[in-house]
Amino acid sequence: MRAIRFYAQLDFQIEKETFEAIKKSAHLLEKIAKERIRDEFSKILNSKNPEKAIRLALDAEILQFIAPELLKTIGIDQNQAHAYDVWNHLLKSLQHATDKNYMFHVKIAALFHDISKPETRRWSEEKKDWTFYGHEVVGSRVTRHILEKLKYPKETIEIVEKLVRWHMFFSDTEKITLSAVRRLIANVGKEYVWELIDLRTCDRIGTGRPKENPYRLRKYRAMVEEAMRDPVTVGMLKIDGNDLMKELGIKPGPIFGNILNALLEEVLDDPEKNDKEYLINRAGELAKLPDEELKKLGSEGKEKKAEEEQKIIEEIRKKHWVQ
């Protein structure tokens, strides 16, 4: 394994007799601690040539002692969306993760994301093509098993398992809703959702398609950013309903919303006004206004909020070149 790692890290060639000796001794890896195999495997994945290294590990007959589950992907044809079989698709996805310098767990997920396509492959007479329904669900469990066997840290296992489980998120950009995007973020976690997008990029390049950032992926990125941003709400203010009751003795009711929305409009126009002392004093002034006038100011505040929301969304979409 170390010879394969040097080959990957330093771009060395392995001398012929040495390579034959490696093949003859490969079975001795069964007696090596899993932690040591894991460490060498990780270094291979973090090298600049992991695709070449995994191919060489197969030729050297040592891959079955690292992740034998990969062997079953060899020669498994995919549907018409793919130029490669599952094995080559996984390796090219991994190499792209390396070329883009993505996080380590994205690299592992790229290598294993379609690991269960062989056992979920079915022929569809209707589509006249192969289908792989549920491969991401089965694959997440298989990936967990592989990483547990190699004694990876619990945190790494959980992150990679999530990435594999959810790598098939969405398909039709015209039907995606923000609520669906929010559920995806909840499933993966805010801290890893962008790595899921990175994995999807690797998956796409691994199909043999030249574009890594087509409209669909740009749309996903825009919607994730839109779903994750802090919304424009009265919660942005340095005071809330409790302050209105405590400082001004105002009783709960519709007046709360009208005052806070009126204050929000002022703060959106001039962020420096988001000061607790100023807002309390201004709230006291607003509370003395006739109901209709205060209600009007509150409505204007809501309209201003909606305008600001739209501006933010338009900026996000413009940044990602989507509509």
pLDDT at res. 250: 85
One domain, residues 108 and 192? yes
What are 163's two structure tokens? 């990435």
pLDDT at res. 77: 83
pLDDT digits (tens, 9 = 90+) for 54-78: 999 999 999 999 999 999 999 988 7
pLDDT at res. 172: 62
Residue 289 lies in a domain: yes
One domain, residues 217 and 199? yes
Q: b/e string for 279-313 if b means 16 or more Cβ within 10 A?
A: bbebbeebeebeeeebbebbeebbebbeebeeebe
Per the structure, the count of domains in the chain is 2
Of the listed ranges 51-65, 110-124, 211-225, 273-287, the one predicted with least confidence: 211-225
pLDDT digits (tens, 9 = 90+) for 283-306: 999 988 888 888 888 788 788 777
One domain, residues 184 and 256? no
In the structure, what pLDDT confidence band is assigned to residue 174 with cuts at 50, 70 and 90?
low
Residue 84 lies in a domain: no
123 Cβ neighbours under 8 A, 6+ residues apart: 129, 130, 131
Residue 296 lies in a domain: yes
One domain, residues 260 and 211? no
One domain, residues 107 and 207? yes
One domain, residues 207 and 239? no
Residue 31 lies in a domain: no
pLDDT digits (tens, 9 = 90+) for 217-245: 788 888 888 877 766 678 878 888 898 88
Residue 212 has pLDDT above 60, yes or no: no
pLDDT digits (tens, 9 = 90+) for 25-54: 999 999 999 999 999 999 999 999 999 999
Residue 20 lies in a domain: no
Vertex 132 angle, CA 130 and 137, to 5°: 175
pLDDT at res. 247: 87
Predicted TM-score of the model (pTM)? 0.75
pLDDT at res. 314: 76
One domain, residues 117 and 218? yes
pLDDT at res. 73: 95
One domain, residues 113 and 218? yes
Q: What is the mean pLDDT of the chain?
A: 88
One domain, residues 154 and 222? yes
Which range of residues forms the domain containing residue 202?
A: 103-228
